[in-house]
Structure 1
C-alpha cells in the first residue's frame, strides 16, 4: 500500500465536523418547533411535547414526512417555509457532501498515484524509518535534495504515520519482499539506503534489491556489528556504514582528543562552519597538484575509488577526477552562495 503525504485534515475530524453540524441543525429545528408548539396539531390532539418536537424535526429534515404532525397556524407554516425547508436542504447537503468528499478523495488519491507512478525516477529509497532512516533523510534534505524524490519503505504503522506526516511518500510493507520494492519502483531508483534495525534483515533486503536491479542501483547499508559488514558487501551493498564501530571511534576520539570530535561534528552539521563537499575537477585544474588549489582538498575520487593525497597517484589531478574538499558553510555566506555551490557539489 502506498501512502502519500496528508494534504487535508483527518477523515475522523472531517466526519465529526459534519456530524456536529447535522446535530446542531436538528437541535435548532427542535427549538424552533418546541417554542411554537401551539401552532402544530398532533393526530392525538394532545399537544406537542419535547419528544414530539424531536420526532417532527428528524422526520422533516430526513424528508420522510409521515404527516401525523402538521403546522396549522400561519406563523408555524411561515416558519416551515423560511426555516425548516432550508434546514432540510442543508441537512441533505451535509449527508450527501460526506459521501461526495469520500468519493472525491478516492479519485484524487487514484489520480495522484497514477501521476506518481508515471513520473517517479532517479529517486532514493529509504528502507526503514527508524533513527538511522530519519537521520539519512534529514541529511538528504539538508543538502537540497527534493523531498518528492524520497520514498520510504516501512511496515510499522506508527512509523508510516510519522513519515507521511513529515510529507514523505511511503510504501507500507516488508522491504525484503520483491512486490513491495517493485511498488517503490526500485528499478528506476538512483540509490537504496537500507537502515533497518537488524543486520539479518539488511542482508535480505540487499540481496532482494540486487536481484531486482541486477546491480544497477547503488546500495548503501547500515550494519550494527562490524562482523556483518563483509556479508553485506558480498550480498551486493556498495557501501556499508557500521554504526557501532563509528560511534565507538567517535567516543574514543572525544576522550583522547576532545577538539577533534568538535571538528567532526562541524563537518557533519550543515550551516555550522565547515562542510564536506565534492565536485568535478575543472579543465584548468587538470595536471595541477590538489595541494595548490585554493580550496582545501582532502582526497580525490578517481574511477570510483578514493585516492588519498598521501598516495603517489594524487600528485596531479587527472581528467574525470572528483575533488573532495572542505568548504565554508557558515550562514553569513548567504543562501545564494550555498545554493550555487549545491548546483555543482555533492555534499556530505
Structure 2
C-alpha cells in the first residue's frame, strides 16, 4: 500500500509515507517486467524458428538458424528492422501481421512504458515524501498500533491533537493499513532502526509513545529514540513492573505498567464494583466521564479551582510542575496554568463514528 487512505493528507498533498519502502521495489518491478519482455522475445524467436522454412536470409543465403531467428525476433520487436531476414511465404507474412506485430507492441509497452512509469512514480513519491518531512514538526510518534497504541491515538484525538500531527510506526502491514484508513501517516518497519526513526522525523517530534508487546523491544526503542531526540517526551508501556526502572534509565519520561494497571482495576472492582466502574469510566473515552488537560481560560484566572463550572479540577500544571487539587500552592488559577479536569465525555466526531462503524462491520 503506497498511499494514505481516506483523507490522510498533509498540507493538502497526499502523503506516500505509509511505507518507507515500496511494497515491491522499483528494481524488482523492473526485473519482473524485464523477464516478461524476455518471454515475449522468446515466443517470437520460437515462432520464427519453428517456421524457419518460410523465412529467407537475404544476406547469408544459408537458411535461418536459431541464432538467426533470435536476431530476427530482436530487431523486429524493437522495431529496428534491418530487412536482411524477411518472411517469404504468405502464411509467414500473415503470422507476422497478426501475431508478431502484437508481440512487438506488447514488448514495447511492457519494457519501455513500465520503465518510465516506475521511475516516474518513484520520483514523484520521493518528492512528496521530502515535502511531507520538511513540513512535519512538533508531532507525536506512536510506535505500535495495536490495541494500546490505537487507544492512545484515539485519546490524543479527543484531546484535540490534529491527525496530520500523528505518525504511526508498526512492523505489521495490517496495522499500517489500519492507521492509513484512520487518517494517519504510517511507516512499516522496526522502530529500533535509526534510519526509520529519522524518516519519521523523530528529532523534531514533541512526544513519542511506545506501546510494544515486548519489554526488551520497548527498552531498546526508548534508548534509540532518546539518542535521536533528547528533549521529547517519551511515554512507554511495559508489561512487567520490574522493568520500569530499566525503562526510566533508558530515558523514558513516563512509564505505564499495563499488567499493574489492569491488576489495580481488578482489585478496585473487587473492593467495590462501583469504584472500579468509575475508574474504568474515566479511562474510557466517548462515554461517561473522561480526564482532560487544557489551558486555563481568561475568566478562570484568579479564581479558585472549585469555581470552574461544568468540570472538576484535580490538578494544575504550573511552570512544568504538577500541583494536585489539595496542594496549598494551587488555590488560585494563574495565567499560563494548564488544568487537569474530570468532565463529561465529549461525543465522538462524525468521522470517528464512521471509523468505529467500519471496524464493527
**Bin for the TM-score computed over the shorter chain:** 0.5 to 0.7
Q: Does 1:330 align with 2:347?
A: yes
**Unmatched tracts of structure 2, length 5 or more:** 1-15, 48-52, 57-69, 352-361
- Alignment of 1:162 with 2:174, yes or no, is yes
Alignment map for 1:1-348 (pairs within 5 Å): 4-5=17-18, 11=24, 41=54, 63=79, 70=87, 85=101, 88-141=104-157, 143=159, 145-153=161-169, 159-165=171-177, 166-167=179-180, 168-170=185-187, 172-175=189-192, 180-214=196-230, 216-303=231-318, 304-323=320-339, 324-330=341-347
Structure 1 distance, partners of 2:77, 2:37, is 10
Q: Give the drift of 1:240.
A: 1.3
Q: Kindly tell me: are residues 305 and 226 of structure 1, through their superposed partners in 2, closer, same or farther at Cα, counting changes over 3 Å?
A: farther
Retained in 1: the 8 A contact 2:219–2:250?
A: yes
**Aligned 8 A contact 2:146 2:175 in 1:** no
For 1:341, the equivalent position in structure 2 comes to none
8 Å CA contact retained: 1:300, 1:308: yes
Mapped partners of 1:81, 1:235: distance in 2: 71
Structure-2 change in CA distance of 1:328 and 1:191 (3 Å): closer
Cα pair 2:173 2:188 within 8 Å, conserved: no
**2:103 and 2:235 mapped to 1: Cα distance?**
61
Equivalent pair of 2:314/2:324 in contact (CA under 8 Å): yes
TM value normalised by structure 2: 0.65
Q: Is the 8 A contact 1:299 1:306 kept in 2?
A: no
2: CA distance between counterparts of 1:160 and 1:270?
Answer: 26
In the alignment, the residues of structure 1 paired with residue 84 and residue 342 of structure 2 have an alpha-carbon distance, to the nearest angstrom, of 86
Alignment match, 1:346: none
Deviation at 1:255, TM superposition (A): 3.2
Whole-angstrom distance in 2 between the partners of 1:247 and 1:291: 31
Q: TM-score, normalised by structure 1?
A: 0.67
Contact map agreement 1:148 1:169 (CA 8 A) in 2: no
C-alpha distance in 2 between matches for 1:6 and 1:182: 14
Counterparts in 2 of 1:220 and 1:256: CA distance versus 1, 3 Å: same
